[in-house]
Amino acid sequence: MGQRIFIVEDHPVMRQGYEFLVGQDLGLEICGGTGSADEARLQVPEANPDLVIVDLAIKGGSGLDLIKDLKAQLPDLRILVVSMYDESLYARRVIQAGARGYLMKNQAHDRVNEAIHKVLDGGIYLSQALQDEMLLRRVGRSKDSAGSPVDQLSDRELEVFEYLGKGLSTREIAEHLMLSTKTVNSYRLRLREKLDIDTNAELRRRAVIWLEHEARPPDALADD
């Protein structure tokens, strides 16, 4: 029997793709999968996988929150994030949340099994470009060491900003993140203050532009 892999991905075609790729590796086997954060919280402990693949955009909540919850339940669980969102913004956040690797979806076909084995062997999987950038930041030599204003947002603020960019209303964001509308409005106010934006309309416009041009690489999958 190979090492057990559980997949959290809400696009059935993508999940089937990972199942096929993992199935080509005799050292790995699929032990379950779901597209829902709530189902993952229940099913992952029951499936007892060695590693969980998690997408950041999943039904019923936040991929970042799911990572934190799974690590709280299963401290030794290895987690690999496979997402279409730009690793330069998200990879550091998922590593801080407890994941051990970040792979962009447009690279998954060629590298997902390599990333899985790296994480299972106790390593951290990141692109070479990001490893170099993180090292330069650590020694203070990166030209972007201060980061963009969006890069300075908290995880929850970033999630609210992302949902605004997707066109969700305050009520819809509250439902997705399981928060009150009052709390979401508080986050909107914080976002305006941190990003120096005067109105909610301008905040939404900026979020749309960011999501279309900065959070996603040019060749990202269109249906994520």
Residue 145 counted as domain residue: no
User: Tell me, what's the pLDDT at 50?
Assistant: 97
In terms of residue numbers, what domain contains 109? Answer: 3-136
List pLDDT tens digits, range 76-85: 999 999 988 7
Element (H, E) at 155: helix 155-165
CA atoms within 13 A on the CB side of 163: 26
- CA 183, 185, 188 angle in degrees (round to 5)? 115
Q: Same domain for 106 and 24?
A: yes
User: Tell me, what's the pLDDT at 130?
Assistant: 75
List pLDDT tens digits, range 7-40: 999 899 999 999 999 999 989 999 999 999 999 9
DSSP structure string for 195-208: HT---HHHHHHHHH
Q: Same domain for 98 and 167?
A: no
CA 160 – CA 163 distance, rounded (Å): 5
Q: Same domain for 127 and 156?
A: no
Question: The domain spanning residue 129 has which CATH number?
Answer: 3.40.50.2300
Q: Same domain for 161 and 113?
A: no
Residue 128 counted as domain residue: yes
Residue 218 counted as domain residue: no
Centre a 10 Å sphere on the Cβ of residue 141 and count the other Cβ atoms it contains. 9
Q: Same domain for 9 and 105?
A: yes
The partner residues of 32 in beta bridges, in order of sequence, read 6
**Total domain count, the chain:** 2
CA 153 – CA 193 distance, rounded (Å): 11
Per-residue pLDDT of the chain (224 residues; tens, 9 = 90+): 689 999 999 899 999 999 999 999 989 999 999 999 999 999 999 999 999 999 988 887 788 889 999 999 999 999 999 988 777 778 888 998 999 999 988 888 889 999 999 999 999 999 877 776 666 666 665 455 456 778 788 888 988 998 898 899 999 998 888 889 999 999 999 999 999 999 999 999 888 888 776 655 434 433 44
Residue 34 counted as domain residue: yes
